[in-house]
Structure 1
Amino acid sequence: MIRRLALRIASLAIVSIIAIVSANPEQAWADVPYVTYYKDNYNQQYRIQTAYMPAAALGRELFIDDPDNPGQPKHSPLNQPQDLFIDANDDMYIADTGNNRIVHLDAAGRLLRVLEAEDKPLNRPQGVYVHDNGDIYIADTGNNRVLRLNKDGELLKTFVRPESKLIPESFKFDPVKLVVDKRGFLYIATLGGYQGLLQLDPEGEFQGFFGANKTSASFIDSVKRLLYTREMYEREISKLPGSITSVDKDGDGFVYTVTKEVSAGQLKKLNIAGLDQLAGKGEFADTMSDGRYGEFIRQPGVYESEAPQLNDLTVDKDGNITVIDTRLNVVSQYDGNGNLLFFWGGAAGDTTTKLGLVKMPTAIASDSSNQLYILDSENNVVQKYALSEFGKLVHEANGLTQDGRYEESEPLWEEVYRQNAYYAPAVLGLAKAAYKRGDYEEARRLFGDAGWARGYSDSFWQNRLLWFQNNFGFFMNIIIGLLAAGIILRLAARRFGWRLRPRRGEGGRRRSRELGKQLAHALHIARHPLDGFYGIRHEGKGGPAAATIVLALALAAYGFMRARTNFVFNPSVVTEPGIGNALIQFTVIWLGFVVANYLTSSLSQGEGRFRDVYAASAYAMLPFVAVGVPLTVLSGALTLNEASIYYFLQYGLYGWAALLLFWQIQGVQNFSVGEAAKNVLLTVLTLFVIAILIFIAFSLTSELAGFIYSIYQEVAIR
């Protein structure tokens, strides 16, 4: 009896598990062979729920008719495939480069047909595209041509290198990827084509280059351009912009490109005029964006020295952009505005064949259900990925947000936030919903948590406006009352003969101490800098003690600026909350300047002593106290609409401090303007030399310490 009851309970448990798995297929994929991550606006990486689940491996078992044995199937696997395209019916077209053919599969991965050229065999084709009307375009790379076939595979037209005076003689027509717009215009990415996409009309006539990358110039290049003659600069190796690696388009006509050989702007969304719509990198463009795309997975204790190398991209039906990285093996997905949604992947290992892991991703595509397909050219297979419940929720909520339907997206974002409170897009979506319904204080808090300065600024502006409107009458009454009290007091003083101001000399003058005079001299320097700095050297009006106090106040003011400036104007407040490093840097640079300036001034027949240079350089830091502290307090009341006021005062602060340093050299050393300018250049050069010597000294000291310790270990062991 007990045994039968136990068997029934076990059977019921098994049936329940099967039912749960059937109702929630994601549960069956709990053991995903990769981790999904998100990186917030402060560049902090953290794990999140899996967004895409591995669903299937397609295209591994392909059989064709054996030409040697008609009617007999022959195994014909993919061989180094390079491109993948999915049409409106979710059929797959694969550029099977190693086999010199185009393979057509259905949605389940079953072979439908093999496409080949009628006139002559394909030669290492690397790109394929299917137009909305069913025409098939093939980038026949080895034959330097693009073929246009109808839906039945019959050749319609061959596109070769167009004839145009606008095309350089050095340009090689080696097509690798292509798309075709609704007009039938071709956008072709060519091997090494730094000029951009080659644009041809339906008849193959050259229309221009489209979406070219800009040439990146380093600081050294700028110096060379400034100092070199034309002949010298022309002998330098020319710097060319990166060539476009792949191209895709969406239903709205935007053309998307990815580029490997650039450090920023690897991903572009181009309108019909060729202007990049992702130039600011989405929502976070106003704070910490650097315009870089393609993520890498940071490992504890591992320094990532290799930059991402984006090889291909796809745009799904919702406008989300997914890119693959052939170097780091990472898949990154962004929304239509360039905001990161999630990324996953990593090294697959040399021997692994797990479902979902890709060794060499060469192409990516998406179907009508926003499922992803990644072509693995090393394993010769197509990996299929289906959206998880979390991924579907994020896509739906983010799509409503991108369409401006913030209130509809709010319950979805609340569910995402419930599942992962650290997922920044959810916080940002809730912030936009709060702003839309007029809860500006909640929106300000959420925008601050998400790190979006523009939203934080707009919410604060609304709160400030409401506060001003509610309190305007109160403050006007206070101002009117103060004015009335002042008038009444002045009339009463005239009527009764009251003296509102003491007579000169009344009460006598207190004798000031020497330190007080030296501290007061800082105010004289602010009004008359040249005369004040001259007085430090030749009239003894400044001393090391007072200078040290002024320097300490400037150091404290600088620390206050770094720690308390509103994050709208200083994002490092969040990313680097500690001010210890900033204070050390300030002190080291200032002290290095003092030493370097004294040394160069001594060699230039300057009249200043070290104590004079020290005191004058300390007094020159007064702007950090006089302007820095009020500016920091003011930043808490300003929005990005008043950013020009903040930056004007900030630039004025540093400009004033730089001028005071220049005038202190001129006044303390008794230099002319030209001699002072020359001394400044020598001081900066000496400062760099000192920094290099200190670096070398520390390096040698550490190596010497390591050598002595190794000798000690050897002696101790023996």
Structure 2
Amino acid sequence: MKAQTSGRILLFLSMMLLMAAGMPLTSFADVVYWTNTKDSNGHLIWTQPAYYPVRMIGTNLTLPDKNRPGVMIPSPMQNPKDLFIDSHDHIYAADTGNNRIVEFGSDGSWLRYITVPESPLNKPQGLFVTKDGDIYVADTGNKRVVRLDQNGKLIKQYNRPESNFIPQSFKYDPVRLVVDKRGFLYIQTLGGYQGLLQLDPDGNFQGFYGGNQTNLSLLDLFKRFVYTRQMYASQISKLPGAISSVAVDRDGFIYTTTVGQDINKDQIKKLNIRGLNMFDTKDENTGGSTSRTFGEVRPWDAANLSGLGAQGAITPQLIDLCVDSNGNITTIDATFKYLNQYDASGNLLFFWAGPSSANTTQLGLMKNPVAIDANSQNDLYVLDDRENVIQQFRLSEFGKKVNEANNLTLQGRYEESEKPWEDVLRLNANYTPALLGLGKAAYKRGDYARAMELFKLGGSHMGYSEALWQVRLQWFQRYFPWFSTVMLTAAVLYKALETSTRNAAWRIRWRGRRRSQKPLIVQLKHAFYILKHPIDGFSAIRYESKGSYPSAFILLGGALLSVAATDLYTGFSFNTIDTHELNLAAVFLEVASLWIGWVVSNYLVSSIYRGEGRFKDVFVASAYALIPLIMIGIPLAVFSNVMTDSEQSIYSFLKLGMYVWMALLFIWQIQSLQNYTIGETIANIVLSLLVFMVLCIVVMVTLGLSSDLKDFIIEVYREVRWR
């Protein structure tokens, strides 16, 4: 009886939780996949389902039997390749294997087959339907695009255009297309790396639109620098990535996706009238454009693919996309069978779904999704060319709430977005877009301290910096009169006290005090002398014993603390390190290993290359050369907490100056200790770096062999033990 009561209580609590989450009780039972998003550091965050699967469409297609009047026989779709939903929410599928277009009603019921009897279709792979009802079909097998009226009658066909600007090698195999409000066609051709083929309503060539740039690796750049023109011309040409899909939103902006194993940026593009990518963001430091990365990965799915023997790098391949009425972009990933959804600005909202079992059909999971589109209610329809069906996904209450809040934020209506974002955050406290949305609302409201907190939790460095600017401005406005008065009064009092007590007995005794002669104190003070007189200072380490191992270890420890302080306490505006995952032991080991490797390499080269310094001299002087890291690194980390992104140039200048200063001290150290000329010093540094690289390789090989040797010994021990 107690067990039954406990079970009922648990069931009741589960139902209450589902109702609190705003989802129908039947929805979660139908969802067989995870829904995730990511935080600013790329960590996976679980969310409630944003979409849940509703049904499969196209499972019961039939045709009249020619030999038996009145009898219907099954006629399933065969290898369908594209999907389109018109303004009346009618669903069109390019049934490639059956050489036809299948039209379904908004409720998923079959309406008709379109076959164009007067000029039959041949392997159609793409389609587009205008608001007037005209149907454009990429008739791939016939190497043409056809325009049909509402009744499926042929109006016009677009064959390969004639133009001197189209290369002879260009293959006109249309696979996808869109039509803009002017009636201009944007045609994606099979393997067309030049971009979308743009035709006017009469079929005249207007140009290539939205082409991709060639991605050159370091090896390619090395070849271009080293090879002669003839040698480079004999290499296989590296071409830009081919566009895999094209879509258009209600405002007329055209979107494309690009696939390829070496394509890891700009997989989605939103193109302006000039064909330039609107998702490129401006780099605040260089002024240039910064590429965006799309396509999400769950670590365990990547591990599973690796375990199944997937060839090459496992990267998402975004093969199709659609844009719904909210401006959200949803893509299909052919590698992981995910649906990835981004907002109108290209920020990740959700990704979900996954591969279906090879032997079963599972609602919500897919074997080989190839096309996607959205209706006026923002339901998603996904075409699977292996299952030969269309799956419908509907927004959950959680997904609707996110869409509502995000749309208000994108429209700049921050105050109105605050309530729905709070509802979202109440359902999922880790949902990053909600934190950022509330941060923008707090900023707009003038609660800059709260905005800083939310932007930091959401990982927005720019938002945090802007809120910090306002907090700092308010602080100065409130306290600057008092602060300046105190500083001025202190300066006047100091000057008066210094002048009046200049000849006082206690001042004379202080100036004539006996300085400490302890060796360690003298050696540490010598570090500051090196900053002013580096050549003489490093020579004194060699010939006057102004340095020792204890002082070197103290300075090295200070340098390590400076590195730790930089990683831990640099202001959030400039710090991209996730301090919660920072392993200080690993950082110390890495820095110490690099420094010791340099000391050993430099000493070995110097001892062979006519150097006069001993190992102790190189060890101690290399530690003294780290003094700028202590003097600048720690204060810079502290002051960066009150600096904003607008002072990025000052921060970068000081940090670069610190590294340049250290580099110069290392150069002067080698020159002084080893009694080298400038040319010999440069040669010594180059050789030391080469030796350092060799040492790294030797260490890695040794560690690898040691691991193998350990495994061998363990296996031998087990064999002996069991025998």
Q: Give the alignment's TM-score, normalised by structure 1.
A: 0.92
What is the one-letter code of the residue matched to 2:267?
Answer: Q
Percent sequence identity is 48
Higher alpha-carbon deviation: 305-314 or 568-577: 568-577
Superposition map of 1:25-40 within 5 A: 26-31=24-29, 32-40=31-39
Shift of the alpha carbon at 1:372?
A: 0.3
Aligned mate of 1:688, from 662, 681, 693 = 693
Shift of the alpha carbon at 1:394?
A: 0.6
Aligned mate of 2:527, from 516, 522, 527 = 522
Shift of the alpha carbon at 1:225?
A: 2.3
Quickly say closer, same or farther: Cα 1:700–1:210, change in 2 above 3 A: same
Q: Residues of 2 paired with 1:596 and 1:453: CA distance?
A: 40
Q: Residues of 2 paired with 1:161 and 1:300: CA distance?
A: 42
Shift of the alpha carbon at 1:126?
A: 1.0
Give the equivalent residue in structure 1 for 2:489. Answer: 481
Superposition map of 1:296-445 within 5 A: 296-299=297-300, 302=303, 306-445=314-453
Deviations 1:498-526 (A, max 9, x none): 579538x9635435232223222211221
Mapped contact 1:281–1:337 kept (Cα < 8 A): no
Quickly say closer, same or farther: Cα 1:486–1:102, change in 2 above 3 A: same
Quickly say closer, same or farther: Cα 1:490–1:702, change in 2 above 3 A: closer
Q: May I ask how many residue pairs the two structures share in their alignment? A: 696
Give the equivalent residue in structure 2 for 1:667. Answer: 672
Higher alpha-carbon deviation: 79-88 or 27-36: 27-36
Q: Residues of 1 paired with 2:378 and 2:259: CA distance?
A: 25
Q: Residues of 1 paired with 2:295 and 2:579: CA distance?
A: 24
Give the equivalent residue in structure 2 for 1:56. Answer: 55
Asked if 1:640 corresponds to 2:636, the answer is: no
Give the equivalent residue in structure 2 for 1:137. Answer: 136
Aligned mate of 2:632, from 606, 624, 627 = 627
Asked if 1:607 corresponds to 2:612, the answer is: yes
Quickly say closer, same or farther: Cα 1:488–1:711, change in 2 above 3 A: closer
Quickly say closer, same or farther: Cα 1:609–1:631, change in 2 above 3 A: same
Shift of the alpha carbon at 1:539?
A: 3.8
Quickly say closer, same or farther: Cα 1:264–1:98, change in 2 above 3 A: same
Give the equivalent residue in structure 2 for 1:279. Answer: 280
What is the one-letter code of the residue matched to 1:438?
Answer: G
Aligned-pair Cα RMSD in Å = 2.6
Q: Residues of 1 paired with 2:668 and 2:383: CA distance?
A: 66
Give the equivalent residue in structure 1 for 2:199. Answer: 200
Deviations 1:331-354 (A, max 9, x none): 110100111111111221111212
Give the equivalent residue in structure 2 for 1:121. Answer: 120
Give the equivalent residue in structure 1 for 2:541. Answer: 536
Give the equivalent residue in structure 1 for 2:508. Answer: 502
Shift of the alpha carbon at 1:124?
A: 1.5
Q: Residues of 2 paired with 1:622 and 1:252: CA distance?
A: 58
Q: Residues of 1 paired with 2:96 and 2:606: CA distance?
A: 70
Q: Residues of 1 paired with 2:191 and 2:39: CA distance?
A: 34
Deviations 1:467-516 (A, max 9, x none): 1100011112212322442454467569xx7579538x963543523222
Shift of the alpha carbon at 1:25?
A: 7.5
What is the one-letter code of the residue matched to 2:24?
Answer: E
SS at match of 2:303: coil
Mapped contact 1:594–1:614 kept (Cα < 8 A): yes
Q: Residues of 2 paired with 1:510 and 1:479: CA distance?
A: 32
Give the equivalent residue in structure 1 for 2:100. Answer: 101
Asked if 1:716 corresponds to 2:715, the answer is: no
Give the equivalent residue in structure 2 for 1:553. Answer: 558
Q: Residues of 1 paired with 2:501 and 2:672: CA distance?
A: 48
Give the equivalent residue in structure 2 for 1:4. Answer: none
What is the one-letter code of the residue matched to 2:28?
Answer: A
Higher alpha-carbon deviation: 265-274 or 108-117: 108-117
Quickly say closer, same or farther: Cα 1:388–1:700, change in 2 above 3 A: same
Q: Residues of 2 paired with 1:60 and 1:624: CA distance?
A: 69
Q: Residues of 2 paired with 1:499 and 1:400: CA distance?
A: 73
Mapped contact 1:282–1:339 kept (Cα < 8 A): no
Q: Give the alignment's TM-score, normalised by structure 2.
A: 0.92
Quickly say closer, same or farther: Cα 1:532–1:233, change in 2 above 3 A: farther
Higher alpha-carbon deviation: 646-655 or 505-514: 505-514
What is the one-letter code of the residue matched to 1:697?
Answer: T
Higher alpha-carbon deviation: 458-467 or 58-67: 58-67
Give the equivalent residue in structure 1 for 2:248. Answer: 249
Mapped contact 1:87–1:130 kept (Cα < 8 A): yes
Quickly say closer, same or farther: Cα 1:158–1:511, change in 2 above 3 A: same
Give the equivalent residue in structure 1 for 2:3. Answer: none
Shift of the alpha carbon at 1:671?
A: 1.9
SS at match of 1:707: helix
Gapped runs of 5+ residues in structure 2? 1-7, 307-312
Higher alpha-carbon deviation: 527-536 or 28-37: 527-536
Q: Residues of 2 paired with 1:566 and 1:79: CA distance?
A: 58
Shift of the alpha carbon at 1:120?
A: 3.6
Give the equivalent residue in structure 2 for 1:172. Answer: 171
